Homo-oligomer: A and B are copies of this chain.
Amino acid sequence: MGKRLLRALAGEAVWPPPLWLMRQAGRYLPEYRALRAEAGDFVSLCTTPALAAEVTLQPLRRYGMDAAILFSDILMLPWALGQGLRFAEGEGPMLPPIRDAAGLATLDPARLPGAIAPILEAVRRVRAEVGDAALIGFAGAPFTVACYMIEGHGGDFAEARALAWRDPALFGALMALLTETTIIYLAAQIEAGAEAVMLFDSWAGLLPPALFRRHVIAPAAQITAALRARSPTVPVIGFPRLAGLLLGAYAAATKVQGLGLDTAADPTEAARLVPATMALQGNLDPLALVAGGAAMADGIADILAAMRGRPFVFNLGHGIVPLTPPEHVADLVRLVRAA
Contacts and interface: CB of A to CB of B under 8 A. Distances in A.
Contact of A165 (B162, B287, B317): B287
A101 B244 CA distance: 36
A161 to B, nearest CB: 4
Nearest to A247: B245
A185 to B, nearest CB: 27
How many of chain A's residues touch chain B, expressed as a range?
A: 35 or more
B295 A270 contact: no
Contacts of A158: 287, 290, 321, 323
Interface stretch (A10-18, A71-79, A260-268): A260-268
A84 interface: no
A102 interface: no
A288 B208 contact: yes
A104 interface: no
A290 B162 contact: yes
Interface in A126-168: 158, 161-162, 164-166, 168
Contacts of A290: 158, 162, 165-166
Q: How many copies does the complex hold?
A: 2
Contacts of A212: 264
Contact of A269 (B245, B265, B317): B245
Contacts of A285: 161, 165, 207-208, 211
B245 A299 contact: no
Contacts of A1: none
Given A207-B264, A208-B264, A264-B205, A287 B162 contact: yes
Most interface-central of A168, A243, A292, A295 (chain B CB within 10 A): A295
Given A162-B323, A165-B296, A245-B269, 9 more contacts: A161-B285, A164-B287, A205-B264, A207-B264, A242-B244, A243-B244, A244-B247, A245-B264, A246-B264
